[in-house]
Structure 1
Amino acid sequence: MISRDLTARVKGKLNKGKAIVLIGPRQIGKTTLVNTLLEGIPFLFLDGDDVVVVDTLANANTETLKSIIGSYKYVFIDEVQRIPNIGLKLKIIVDQIKDVQVIVSGSSAFDINHLTQEPLTGRKFEYHLYPISWNEFENNVGYIKAQQQLELRLLYGMYPDVINNFGNEYEVLKNLVSSYLYKDVLSLAGIRKSEVLEKILQALALQVGSEVSYNEIAQLVGVDKNTVSNYIDLLEKVFVIFRLNSFSKNLRNEIKANRKIYFYDNGVRNMLIGNFNVLEFRQDKGALWENFLVSERMKLLSYSDSLAKPYFWRTTTQQEIDYIETNADVVSAFEFKWSPTKKVKLVKSFETAYNPSFMVVNKDNFRQFLK
């Protein structure tokens, strides 16, 4: 079992009089994290995938909830987004059954926030859990083994089951993508046209590291722009992809409204395009490296509760910087190059306008960027 950086933060919030909400994709280790938190402590587990549990909780009043919980001091409800009116039930537990710590988890940020936002205002601690981070991986397997597996992780990603099934990564990923993307995501959104979702995902996978045009994807897939936008919103809310917006502030020719889209996991991305060739023979090595670094940086910012804001930067004259971070008035610029011998200079106009720090992140020094 790989220990998670989030465990200590969540543990510090137990028994503070608020619900703990844990959000992240399926098969990411949410249940394992909760089991670790409550190891040796009796707790009530309620499964949101169980029809009886859903029906019982959906219709429960205060007295029913007290009867269900009984003498337990800890309650864990998984896949909470499947339970109607769960926000009101959680409010009752927090307000009326004060000696009980309730922990809930789910795989859809949209549904959980929609169900719990208003009832749990001021009554919850919310955390996002992602695929295994490089820091967690290295802490688990050690520095040398982590370095030896860097290229493997660029190909097969960081899902716990993938890491724990060395030699069977392809089969594990295939099952994960087919079950999570093409069943769970479709059912969450009530989508019937799986082929549209698949084509949009493949288009996004092939455009990692490039600016994404919804109009171009719409033409490629054969749907309208609004459909593409809706699918991308959904995929972001269930933690398959995330957007990076363009940075613009001072310069007239800066691109102001574009976005790049990245995958939270390289393995999922590679499964979608059916390519697990080694880096040496890949045309998209730079895109894989960029997706890995940006997704790992997102985990780092989230787990450290950072206030830094991530962007990319480009001008109308095609000057660009792979990744920008702002924190208060401090601007940091990063370029991503797999090879340590690649020499890169910071764009002069950006340097003059923003006086940023600058780092070229390569396979020799990337740990500085991720730790």
Structure 2
Amino acid sequence: MDETRLFELLNRINVWWDDDPVPQTLRKAPYRRSDFYVVRDKLDAQRRILTIRGPRQVGKTTLCGQLIESLLNRGVPAKRIVYFTAENNQILSGPDDIITDSLEVYEQYVLRESFRNVDSEVYVFIDEVQKIDGWASKLKYYVDTYSNLRFVTTGSVSTLIKSDASETLVGRLAEHIMMPMKYRDYVAYHGALDGDTASESTELRSALDESLEQGDTGALTVALTRFYGSYNDARPRLDALKDERLLKGGYPGVIEEKPVDAYTTLDTDLRYTVIGDLATVFNVQSPENVLRVLSLVADSTAAKLNVQNIADTIGISRDTVERYLDYLEEFFLITECPKHTTSEYDSGGRPKVYVQDVGLYNTLAGTLSSKTLRDGNKMGPVLETAVCDHARRLQFYLSNAQSGDIAYWDRRGEVDFVLSGTDYVLPIEVKNGDSTKADLRGLRNFVEETDAEFGLAVNNAEELKEDDGIIHIPAWLFFFLC
């Protein structure tokens, strides 16, 4: 690409070079979700490259805009910050070496001196970096050559980003996975609590930590009861927001939309992701079949996945289905829950597979409607999908950011989800109705037969009580805990 043309493009994007504010198209709403504060701290840490991975439309670009605004507000010179995206059609039509070309133009026309001579940090933001061939090697060269460069990159393809980075950028890289907004962020966005939403949620998780460490329900039960009582007046609003999120999910683009409009937005974005990005990245010749696999996964939610049945239904091979499932997981669209085993002698079993976001599940299942909230049969898998999503976030926290993997158990009854680590085991059962009146034999048997000291029964009936090692917890309160 011609240098003058590239400079014009970069200048048009980086309007703060001319003392203009970060455009709203980049930073979007002023609300800053919890990811912002985590990533901001990582940006100030020792590692000089930060990758932010997550699905399309989850808010990664917005996060970049907010980080840029934050840097400017704390006094970083405007011309020490450059942003560009690999999704720009003009960039994609240019040379493969767009990182080098962009930074050379930026160095020559904006900084007007070598990076080596700049006496402060220079921040480089690159959006959708996986679309640039050899990006990791190029960033390695720059951080190894210039000690004052910091890079923030985003990407929508999980392991492609991770594998490229981990193989090339050892010791130079910090990572952050950004998923759709948790219920806690949903509550904070709507200002539903007078208190500090983040600290309240942190206190509940700390109490869970204490209960798991001590092997009894005391600390967690006390914390949940205190929170439940303290926000008695806010509970109707919290429950209503829970219902809203159970329908629309956590993608920021639909947070203000009505269900019917949210369906259109999510359906459009989903098709663009699968038929556009996914098909291009993995060279899929029949992307509509990937959509059909995803729809059949939604149909199988809360049940063990039968890959052969999916293959027979669509008329493709089993190997092709398994490959498509891998692709869908790469794009953060589905998550797999294997069978939990208590020893190496336990036999394996078919996994359960869930659509990652409950709003996408409802879009695929045709349940993105307020009528669903009154249909017990439909609400069962809806609630379980949302609990799966939040349970994975909780597992990530409990494992000290080492793993978001969770499992299920089906020996002497079933347990929907099992969270486990080197020093904890936490079984979770999901009941759309009143869990205190439900059959919890599987949960109780799991506690009796394993190292778990207690279990959680997530319910959609406002029940909060402890009963012989089982904590019955309202769904909205469980989501807030996570």
Cα drift, residue 351 of structure 1: 2.9
Aligned counterpart, 1:366: 475
Say whether residues 1:108 and 2:157 are aligned partners: yes
* Alpha-carbon spacing, 1:303–1:86, altered in 2? closer, same or farther (3 Å): farther
Question: RMSD in angstroms over aligned alpha carbons?
Answer: 2.5
TM-superposed CA distance for 1:24, in Å, is 0.7
Structure 2 contact 427–446 (Cα < 8 Å) conserved: no
Amino acid at match of 1:293: V
Give the Å deviation of 1:81.
0.5
1:138 Cα deviation (Å)?
A: 1.2
Decide whether aligned partners of structure 1 residues 102 and 301 sit closer, same or farther in structure 2, where only a CA change above 3 A counts: same
**Sequence identity (%):** 24
Q: 1:13 aligns with which of 19, 42, 56?
A: 42
Q: Does 1:94 align with 2:143?
A: yes
Q: What SS class does the counterpart of residue 419 from structure 2 fall into? A: strand
Q: Which protein has the larger Cα radius of gyration, Structure 1 or Structure 2?
A: 2
Partner of 1:324: 418
The yes-or-no answer on 1:24 pairing with 2:54 is: yes
Residues 107-137 of structure 1 show CA distances to partners (whole Å, capped at 9, x for unaligned) of 1113212432222111110111001111111
**Is the 1:128–1:302 contact (alpha carbons within 8 Å) kept by the matching residues of 2?**
no
Q: Write out aligned runs for 1:44-83 (5 A).
A: 44-54=82-92, 58-59=96-97, 65-69=103-107, 71=111, 73-83=122-132
Give the aligned partner of residue 351 of structure 1.
447
The residue number in structure 2 matching 1:314 is 410
Residues 19, 103 of structure 1: 8 Å contact kept? yes
Take 1:240 and 1:36, find their aligned partners in 2: how far apart are those partners? 25
Q: SS of the residue aligned with 2:179?
A: coil
Query: Contact (CA 8 Å) 2:54, 2:155: kept in 1 or not?
Result: yes
Equivalent residue runs for 1:136-215 within 5 Å: 136-141=185-190, 142-143=192-193, 144=234, 145-166=237-258, 168-215=261-308
Alignment of 1:263-278 (within 5 A): 263-276=355-368, 277-278=371-372
Measure, in 2, the Cα distance between the counterparts of 1:171 and 1:55.
Answer: 30
After TM superposition, the structure 1 stretch with the greater mean CA deviation from structure 2, 72-81 or 146-155, is: 146-155
Distance in 2 of aligned mates of 1:179 and 1:339: 36
For the residues of structure 2 that align with 1:242 and 1:129, how far apart are their CA atoms? 15
Please point out which of 46, 61, 68 is paired with 1:38.
Answer: 68
My pick for the range that moved more, 177-186 or 129-138, is 177-186
Q: Taking structure 1 as reference, are residues 148 and 226 closer, same or farther at Cα in structure 2, changes over 3 Å only? A: same
CA distance in 2, matches of 1:320, 1:281: 23
> What is the rounded CA distance, in whole Å, between the counterparts of 2:87 and 2:132 in structure 1?
9
| Deviation for aligned residue 1:67 | 4.5
For residue 96 of structure 1, report the CA deviation from its aligned partner: 1.2
Query: How many residue pairs were aligned?
Result: 368
Alpha-carbon distance between aligned partners in 1 of 2:397 and 2:94, rounded to the nearest angstrom? 35
Report the CA distance between 1:213 and its aligned residue: 1.8
Alpha-carbon distance between aligned partners in 2 of 1:62 and 1:151, rounded to the nearest angstrom: 48
Measured after TM superposition, the shift of residue 54 of structure 1 is 4.7
Q: Which has the higher helix share?
A: 2
Name structure 2 gaps, 5 residues minimum. 1-28, 112-120, 194-233, 463-473
**Match of 1:4?**
33
Q: Which residue of 2 aligns with 1:292?
A: 386
CA distance in structure 1 between the partners assigned to 2:394 and 2:183 by the alignment: 9
Query: Equivalents in 2 of 1:63, 1:278: separation in Å?
Result: 52
SS at 2:255 equivalent: helix
Tell me if structure 1 keeps the 8 A contact 2:183–2:242. no
Superposed displacement of residue 297, structure 1: 2.1
- Distance (whole Å) between structure 1 residues aligned to residue 393 and residue 447 of structure 2: 27
Task: Report what 2:427 is aligned to.
Answer: 333
TM-score by length of 2: 0.70
Matches of 1:240 and 1:231 in 2, distance apart? Answer: 11
Alignment correspondent of 1:261? 353
In the TM superposition, what whole-angstrom CA distance separates every residue of 1:237-290 from its partner, at most 9, and x where no partner exists? 1100011111112497x5523211111211111212333342223633111110
Normalised TM-score (structure 1): 0.90
List runs of 5+ in structure 1 lacking aligned partners: none
Q: Secondary structure in 1 aligned to 2:291?
A: helix
Distance 1:250 1:86, change over 3 A: closer
